[in-house]
Structure formats: structure tokens, C-alpha cells
């Protein structure tokens, strides 16, 4: 469901980067559940 490699990186990043990576993982999870959702910016 979510990328363990990216999750493993979270502990090695400062809080702001960790938050951004967390958002990326959350968006990936949403995109996996709702493939029709337009996430492109």
C-alpha cells in the first residue's frame, strides 16, 4: 500500500521535510484508492 523505503526515510529527515514526505505518501495512498482524482499541480 505505501512505500516502505520512503517511510524509512522519514526518520532521517528534519520535521518539515518529514511532514512533506508524509503528505507525499498520503497523496500516493489517495491516488491509489481514487485513481481518477486529479493530483497534478
Cell (9 digits) for 2: 505505501
Q: What is the mean pLDDT of the chain?
A: 72
Q: What is the gyration radius of the CA atoms in the chain, in angstroms?
A: 11
Q: What is the pLDDT of residues 19-34, one digit of tens each?
A: 888 888 888 888 888 7
Q: Is the pLDDT of residue 11 over 50?
A: yes
Higher pLDDT, 23 or 40: 23
Q: Which of 40, 2, 1 is nearest to 22 (CA)?
A: 2
Entry pTM: 0.43
Share of the chain above pLDDT 70, in %: 51
Dump the DSSP string for 1-41: ---HHHHHHHTTS-HHHHHHHHHHHHHHHHHHH-TTS----
What confidence score (pLDDT) does residue 1 get? 44
Amino acid at each position: 500500500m505505501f512505500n516502505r523505503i520512503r517511510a524509512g526515510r522519514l526518520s532521517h529527515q528534519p520535521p518539515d521535510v518529514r511532514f512533506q514526505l508524509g503528505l507525499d505518501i498520503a497523496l500516493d495512498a489517495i491516488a491509489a484508492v481514487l485513481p481518477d482524482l486529479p493530483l497534478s499541480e
